[in-house]
Amino acid sequence: MAAINLNINGKKQTVNVDPKTPLLWVLRDHLDLVGTKYGCGIAQCGACTVLLGDAAVRSCQLPISAVANKSVTTIEGLSTNGDHPLQKAWLEHDVPQCGYCQAGQIMSAVALLKKHPTPTDEEIEIAMNGNICRCGTYLRIKDAIKTASNS
Amino acid sequence: MAQTQTSISRRTFLKTSAMAGGGLMISFGWISSFAKVKEALPISEEWTELNGFLKISENGIVTIMSPNPEGGQNVKTSMPMIVAEELDVDWKNVIVEQASLNTQLYTRQFIGGSQAIRQGWKSLRMAGATARHMLRQAAAQTWSVPLEEITTESGTLHHKKSGKSATYGSMASAAAKITAPKEVPLKAKKDFKIIGTSKKNVDGLKIVTGKPLYGMDVKRDGMLIAMIVHPPAFGMKLKSVNDAAAKSMPGIKDVFSVKVFNDDYERQFFDTCTFLEVVAVVGSSTWEVMNAKKALKVEWEPFADYTLKRSVPGGSSQTLTVPKGLESTTIHTASLKERMSKPAEVARKDGNPQEAFMNAAKIIERTYSAPFLAHNCMEPMNFFAHVTADKAELAGPLQKAEFTEKALSSRLGIPLEKIDIKMTRLGGGFGRRSYAHWLLEAAVISQKMNAPIKLIYTREDDMTSGIYRPAYRATYRAALDANNNLTAFHVKAGGIPESPLEENRFPAGAVDNYLAEEFTINSNITTGSFRAPRSNFIAAAEQSFLDEVAEAAGKDPIEFRLQLLDRVIKAPVGDNNDYDASRYAGVLKLAREKSGWGTPLPNVHRGVSAYFCHNSYVAQVLDLTIEKGKPVIKRVCCAVDCGIVVNPDAASNLAEGAIVDAVGNAMYGSLTFKDGVPDKNNFNKYRMIRHSEAPKAIDIHFVQNDIDPTGMGEPTFPPTFGALANALYKATGKRLYEQPFDLKLSEELKGL
């Protein structure tokens, strides 16, 4: 157990956990931020994607000790009213089916647009290839990213 | 206007009238949805319940209960749309709430067979129409005018002669005192204002903002986390557990074994369960339990043949044998081949196929196969349970709550009325969550711990716990005469442990001499429904084969199918053909028109496929190119006849997803076994379709008609396999007979 200082969605707080605990489980079990999902636990599906600074990372494989004092953004911190351009685009295109992977998809898309504000189809496919959608909403995700990139 | 008897769910209305007699009620479900738009009325907290499907606040907001679980089919939006249509309210003033399991109020609260809208159609319309009628009657009484003179418009009652009007909200309390009518008028379909218009997913905002919606997100004070350890191989059972190390680890509360069913329990249809006894690890947090799981030392041993009793619909019961042994795919394949060479059970025979094949000018014979598949829902299996001495509260994602509740009642010895199952949004179902052994495991663990617990399967537990799509094999033969007419057709199909045969589907009815045979091979590898069961394989095989037969006959593959369908329309063979040949031909013609079939594109390879299942008709044309030695699907054009389309954009989304899902499973989906151990346990090995592999464009076209709605979640899935196989043949010149296609395809594509 160790006291670790966190900066999640702009909120500074301290948790007392095993430093090897993945960020995902600290978010979900200790901080009640359940928007970040568990899908595979081995960084293969992208459901647990959050932002570390401006980069998309898989929180299921990231020990909490590695994010001490660093800025982490989860889906809950993306906007106060669901009005981030990507969230709005997701609603406009009515992207989700089951919806379970979508928070991770959106966080990957946020990182993509920070790097490439107007991405090509190929850039979208490469950036989003780590996020599995079992329902197969890939085309709508692509359309939503393009809509957001134009706004 | 059509009069519809309310007797279908008369029970619902009688019961709720009594409830409504209590007057206003304040109630919000645990997972209510506030899909509000800005111009909507403010939310009030005083509600009048008019029947089990809806309640109205004094300021006119209507809460509509969505009876069925939601797992991505979008029924939580489309089912309430049907109620709102007949109630005649403005959709922006509707709130949707997920109903709890309540077999007194609702019927068929489950996901399966793409039947929610088809089978809910009448009762949902009636629920809205009945409430509207009661509101009109309340207004007629209040204003002392004839009922016939009361009209409604978007949540307002009018009496034109006197100029009086009132909102539904102001009349709701009086309406609750009206006895539900014996029959109600339903709207003419031409007057629909909500049905047939695209409405956004009512949970959309919650999904994109990461609000708790799923079973995985359930949390209660004092809740513990539980996980299970199950045998590493099919054919094995628990021998002993050494839990000394695990129990001493931080946060760990207990380790014990759990029996899923009581020994003498007679199982129901959906009680399939792979491992009858598992080891539970319970602790304070997920990470601690995950670590303790790894520290457990468990000994397993092979089990001997055993039998189980299962009830059969209709009241009788059957005894099933679960065979011993550590099975391997090499043995499965050999067994399937061996059985294919022997006589099988005849499911349908028309004419004299034997003679027709003897007299054939040309015979084409091909064999198709597909492996076991794992469902791989993105949300791993999980359930919350809080079982106390005399009652059980459960919450989580499942497809067949009504059946699972009965199994749970038997397992815990707690009567049904003391069990409360809340249905959370499913992070995917695809059939897997019909078999809810994990709910029983969660309940037994909670009972033993005397605490609320949430059971979570790791991805590895999820992928290796069975209930797979069966493995299938089918051999087709077709006889052509000297004029290239199809004179005989023979299919022999089998599977482990289920046959995929649909003997009364096309081309049955189109051929004078027809033979359909089937066989099964028993196994201890458990299987269950997987999106469009059986159809998901047999459509692929049949539609690939028909493509090859059309080619051998020198005919265009669409024209070839249409000629056969024309035969069925004019003079069908046999009486049991389970499809409407005109509607089948209709989707083929629509796909031909919309895809530009008659206008080939340079370097684009095209495949067509069509199939009927779950009461709906679908045809697809798939265009692909080969780029850098890999197939790139440029476009899938999909024509659907599912009758009236309730929510067109959402239906299109579902169809797009089914096509992507099918491409993924056709290309990569596979689970094989060695000595009872599945070869894959997570997404590093199990290849799922990803963004870059999805078709670049999909267009969905609905046949416009006034037929009552039919299935949508499954029928668009099976045709894609054949369309893809046929397009790949055009691209490579080689036919693919074994799924997943990717294995052979990479060889074929070398040098292209």
Contact B373, B670 (CB under 8 A): yes
Average confidence (pLDDT) over B643-659: 98
B373 contacts in chain A (CB < 8 Å): none
Q: Write down the pLDDT at residue B684.
A: 98
* pLDDT score of B8 more than 50: no
What is the DSSP-derived secondary structure letter of residue B568? H
Note the pLDDT of residue A115. 97
Mind telling me how many Å the CA of A99 is from chain B's nearest CA? 6
Q: How does pLDDT run across A97-145, given as a tens digit for each residue?
A: 999 999 999 999 999 999 999 999 999 999 999 999 999 999 999 999 9
pLDDT (0 to 100) of residue A101 = 98
| pLDDT tens-place string over residues B244-273 | 999 999 999 999 999 999 988 999 989 999
Which residues contact residue B589 at a Cβ distance below 8 angstroms, ignoring those fewer than 6 apart? B562
Contact B691 A142 (CB under 8 A): yes
Q: What percentage of chain B reaches a pLDDT higher than 70?
A: 94
User: Are residues B485 and B492 in contact, defined by beta-carbon separation less than 8 angstroms?
Assistant: no
Partners of residue A39 in chain B, C-beta under 8 Å: 378-380, 459, 683
Structure confidence at residue B14 (pLDDT):
30
Both tokens of residue B442?
């969660």
Length of chain B: 752
Per-residue pLDDT, B13: 36
Query: Is B183's Cβ below 8 Å from some Cβ in A?
Result: no
* pLDDT exceeds 70 at position B295: yes
Nearest CB among A1, A82, A128 relative to B691 is that of A128
Is B210 within 8 Å of A33 when comparing Cβ atoms? yes
Structure-token pair, residue A98: 């089951």
Q: Using the 8-state DSSP alphabet, how is residue B93 labeled?
A: G
Q: Do B378 and A45 touch (CB under 8 A)?
A: yes
Q: Which of B209, B286, B688 sits opposite A134 (nearest CB)?
A: B688
Alpha carbons A131 and B438: distance in angstroms, whole number: 27
Whether residue B210 and residue A139 make contact (CB cut-off 8 A), yes or no, is no
Q: What one-letter code names the amino acid at A89?
A: A
The pLDDT of B280-303, averaged and rounded, is: 98
Question: Virtual CA dihedral for B230, B234, B237, B242, nearest 10 degrees?
Answer: -40
- Tell me what pLDDT residue B41 has: 58
In A, minimum Cα distance to B657 occurs at A136
Lowest mean pLDDT among A35-44, B76-85, B233-242, B743-752: B743-752
Q: What is the pLDDT of residue A132?
A: 98
A19: Cβ–Cβ under 8 A, 6 or more apart, which residues?
A2, A4, A63, A64, A65
- B209 and A79 within 8 Å at the Cβ level: the answer is yes
Q: What is the mean pLDDT of residues B635-663?
A: 98
Check pLDDT > 60 for residue B583: yes
Indicate yes or no: CB of B695 within 8 angstroms of CB of A139: yes
Question: Closest to B378 (Cβ–Cβ): which among A1, A17, A132?
Answer: A132
- Rounded to the nearest angstrom, the gap between the alpha carbon of residue B6 and the centroid of all alpha carbons in its chain is 28
Residue B584 has pLDDT above 60, yes or no: yes
Q: Do B656 and A137 touch (CB under 8 A)?
A: yes
Which chain B residues touch A126 with a CB distance below 8 Å?
692
Q: B467-477: per-residue pLDDT in tens?
A: 999 999 999 99
* Residue tagged 């997701």 (tokens): A90
Distance from CA of A147 to the nearest CA of B (A): 16
Interface test with A, best of B287, B667, B693 (most A CBs within 10 A): B287
Say if residue B35's pLDDT is above 60. no
Residue A103 and residue B690: Cβ atoms within 8 Å?
no
More confident position, B57 or B526:
B526
Q: Is B694 on the interface with A (CB under 8 A)?
A: yes
Residue B294, chain A, CB below 8 Å: the answer is no
- Span B669-695, mean pLDDT? 98
The torsion angles phi and psi of B649, rounded to 5 degrees, stand at -65, -40
Of B204, B378, B661, the CB nearest to A100: B378
List CB contacts (< 8 A) between B656 and chain A: 136-137, 139-140
Q: Report the distance separating Cα A120 and Cα A118, nearest Å.
A: 7
ipTM for the predicted complex comes to 0.99
pLDDT higher than threshold 90 for residue B480: yes
Unique residue bearing structure tokens 């996980």: B227
Q: Which of A74, A100, A137 sits opposite B427 (nearest CB)?
A: A100
- Residues of B in Cβ contact (< 8 Å) with A143: none
pLDDT of residue B44 exceeding 60: no
Question: What residue type is assigned to position B337 of the chain?
Answer: K
Distance separating alpha carbons of residues B244 and B579, to the nearest angstrom: 61
Report the range of poorest mean pLDDT among A88-97, B33-42, B56-65: B33-42
Residues 458-477 of B with CB under 8 A from A: 458-459
Average pLDDT, integer, range B433-456:
98
| CA A32 to chain CA centroid, nearest Å | 16
Calculate mean pLDDT across residues B595-621. 97
Q: Where are the beta strands (DSSP E) in B222-302?
A: 224-229, 236-242, 252-259, 277-283, 297-302
Task: Provide CB contacts within 8 A for B288, sequence distance 6+.
Answer: A18, B225, B249, B250, B251, B252
Confidence at residue B102, expressed as pLDDT on a 0 to 100 scale? 86
Report chain B's mean pLDDT, rounded to a whole number. 92
Q: Select from B589, B648, B578, B666 the least CA-distant residue to B621.
A: B589
Q: B10-14, B191-195, B369-373, B627-631: which has the minimum mean pLDDT?
A: B10-14
Q: Does the beta-carbon distance from A25 to B286 stay under 8 Å?
A: yes
- pLDDT over threshold 60, residue B27: no
Min mean pLDDT across A29-43, B49-63, B126-140, B428-442 is at B49-63
DSSP codes of every residue in B107-125: S--S--TT-HHHHHHHHHH
Q: Over 90: is that where the pLDDT of B547 sits? A: yes
SS3 content of chain B, % helix, strand, coil (to 5): 30, 25, 40
Lowest mean pLDDT segment, chosen from B43-52, B122-131, B498-507: B43-52
Pseudo-torsion of CA B685, B689, B693, B698, nearest 10°? 170
Q: Does B430 touch chain A (CB under 8 A)?
A: yes
Q: Is the per-residue pLDDT at B599 higher than 70?
A: yes
Contacts of B575 (CB under 8 A, 6+ apart): none
Strand pairing report for B392-396 and B419-423: parallel
Q: Between chains, do A138 and B660 touch, taking CB under 8 Å as contact?
A: yes
Residue B17: the pLDDT is 33
Chain B residue numbers with beta carbons less than 8 Å from the beta carbon of A131 are 690-691
Q: Is the pLDDT of residue B33 over 60?
A: no
List, as ranges, residues 31-90 from B with C-beta within 8 Å of A.
71-74
Confidence of residue B45 (pLDDT cuts 50, 70, 90): low
Q: What DSSP character marks residue B433?
A: G
Distance in Å, alpha carbon of A50 to nearest chain B alpha carbon:
12
Are B77 and B200 spatial neighbours (Cβ–Cβ below 8 Å)? yes
Given B285, B658, B692, which is nearest A25 (Cβ)?
A: B285
How far does CA B496 lie from the centroid of its chain? 21
pLDDT band at residue B752 using 50, 70 and 90 as cut-offs: low
Q: Considering only A54-58, B5-9, B391-395, B655-659, which range has the smallest mean pLDDT?
A: B5-9
Name the minimum distance, in Å, from the CA of A80 to any CA of chain B: 9
Residue B46 predicted with pLDDT over 90:
no
Judged against a pLDDT cut of 50, whether residue B37 lies above it is answered with no
